[in-house]
Amino acid sequence: MATATQELIHNVLDVKYDSFNAGAIRDAKNQVLDLAAVMVSGSNGPGNSALLDLVRQWGGKGEATILVHGDKVPLPHAAMMNSIQCRSYDHEAVGPYPYGQNEGMFSGHVESATVPAAFSVAEYVDASGKDLISAVVLGGDLAARIAFVEGLGFNHPFDPVGTANSFGVAGIAGRLLGLNETQMVNAFGILTTQVAGGFRSLWDGVHTFKLYGAMAARNGIIAALLAQKGYSGLKDPLFGPQGYFECYCPKPYHPEYMNRDLGKEFYTRGMHKKYPSCYGNHNLIDCGLDILKEHEINAEDIKEIIVGVHPMQLNSYGSLPFKKGDSQPAALFYQSYSAANLLLRKGARLEHYTEEAVQDPRVVALAGRVKHIPTRQKNGTIELIVKMNDGKEYTAVYQYPVMRGYPGRPLTQKELIEKYWNNISFCGKIAKSKAEKALAMIENLEKVDQVTKIFKLLVA
């Protein structure tokens, strides 16, 4: 009888493209659309040049492409760079969202590692569009299932972005490289000695918030390549003594969640973000936009900005003050910056989250007038109160049961394409004609014979 780990491995290795329904295929193509766009826009994201400089210094065989820059570098390095680029403005799709018995669980930023890694490995093996779709579906599904076992809590010692995501990447690499069951067990066993990454970067507002996801993309590929060459790893990597779940997951964890509906429900639905920055800011941004629709507000006339949040969130990173000297990662995660930025600049766009934009003395000063309180709403939803110097007060309460971009309130296909173009335009280095061709190929990905053709179009 197969173990739970063996069942999970055979799912990622053996399921055929024809097993996916039209919805799963559309979801996978939307993941590719979204992640391609944010890999482009994040090509020069804050801090990324340090890692790019090192990758160039290391050199090596040209096996896969760093998008926009065009460097051909060793496969693990390309996946690492493409992943760090996609996370640079925290604008990439979150999820995948599960249906079936695990519906409602949250897997975090799985796609920030799995999709860039799938791009790189697909280029390395000269894969087709159908191959890429299958890898995106099954690798994301695998990583999400492992994340559900451990649960996602910001008080946990490890972030699944750096841990569970690694296994999804290994599954993608194993599938596209043609690994067998024994090799995949070894790949998982190798990974169990590599994974890491914690949430503290969100509180500290530092570049490492995106580094461990990039390392997951790199480590998952290295583990698969080592296993392919006969390197051995832990024999029972997930459930064994001192295995992954015992070492990395707070108790109690739930192994029964991992293979629920395995091979029947494929977790593919991304939660696509309309705005840059942490999803914890987005309901607040929508509240601010609601106020701006009704009222002309001069930021210089604002006396105080009050953000009402669930009491449990008052000690979270989102409620930290944004102050002079804080850098771009802090602006992505602190609600005080997003509230001040929105009211000052009347929007929440990529150009508002550059290092230069977040250092603007006007937005720093306005962020200093933001105060967090327990929400007055009985259901715990977020509210925004803007108090003016003349005594006027404007209030908005988030009115929807879910955030924009979630399955209950998804972005339309038109909005996803608009997001693609916003990211391409923000980068400013990809010719419109090339971006149009890339978009057309992604929209018809199942008909593309070589996905390398897409990647070549997304190079400056």
Would the CA dihedral through 40, 44, 48, 53 be positive or negative?
positive
Write the pLDDT tens digit of every residue in 355-393: 999 999 999 999 999 999 999 999 999 999 999 999 999
| pLDDT number for residue 252 | 84
| Residues 324 and 423 reside in one and the same domain | no
**Residues 308 and 363 reside in one and the same domain:** yes
Is there a single domain that holds both residue 29 and residue 106? yes
Q: Given a cut of 90, is residue 149 above it in pLDDT?
A: yes
Give me the pLDDT at residue 156, please: 85
Query: Taking the model in full, what pTM does it have?
Result: 0.97
Query: How many C-beta atoms lie closer than 10 Å to residue 177's C-beta?
Result: 18
- Of the pLDDT bands very low, low, confident and very high (cuts 50, 70, 90), residue 153 is confident
C-alpha–C-alpha distance, residues 138 and 234, integer Å: 23
For the chain, percent of residues with pLDDT exceeding 70? 100
Is residue 77 located within the same domain as residue 226? Answer: yes
Domain that holds residue 331: 279-397
8 A C-beta contact, residue 359 and residue 367: no
Helix 111-125 vs helix 211-228: crossing angle, to nearest 10? 40
Name the strand (E) or helix (H) holding 413: helix 413-427
User: Residue 268 has what pLDDT?
Assistant: 97
Mean pLDDT over 191-205 rounds to 94
251 with 338, same domain: the answer is: no
* CATH number of the CATH domain containing 74: 1.10.4100.10
Q: Does the pLDDT value for residue 303 go beyond 90?
A: yes
Q: What is the pLDDT of residue 175?
A: 98
Phi, psi (rounded to 5 degrees) for 72:
-100, 115
233 and 85 in a common domain: yes
Q: Is the pLDDT reported for residue 143 higher than 90?
A: yes
State the pLDDT confidence band at 150, using cuts at 50, 70 and 90.
Answer: confident
β-bridge partners, 308: 373, 383
- pLDDT digits over 99-115, tens only? 999 999 999 999 999 99
Q: Quick one: residue 382, left, alpha or beta (phi over 0 = left, psi -120 to 50 = alpha)?
A: beta
Angle 352-355-360 (CA atoms, 0-180°, nearest 5)? 70
| Beta strand spans in 310-459 (E) | 370-374, 383-388, 393-397
Q: Work out how many domains the chain is built from and give that number.
A: 2
- Whether residue 1 is predicted with pLDDT greater than 90 in this model: the reply is no
Comparing 121-130, 147-156, 278-287, which segment has the lowest mean pLDDT? 147-156
Res 250: pLDDT:
84
DSSP string for 42-91: TTT-TTHHHHHHHHHHH-----EEPTBT--EE-HHHHHHHHHHHHTTTS-
**Residues 255, 120 share a domain:** yes
Say yes or no: 303 and 443 in one domain. Answer: no
Query: What average pLDDT does the chain have?
Result: 97
What is the identity of the amino acid at 73?
A: V
Interval 238-274: pLDDT, tens: 999 999 999 998 888 899 999 999 999 999 999 999 9
Please confirm whether the linkage preceding 410 is cis (ω < 30° from 0): no
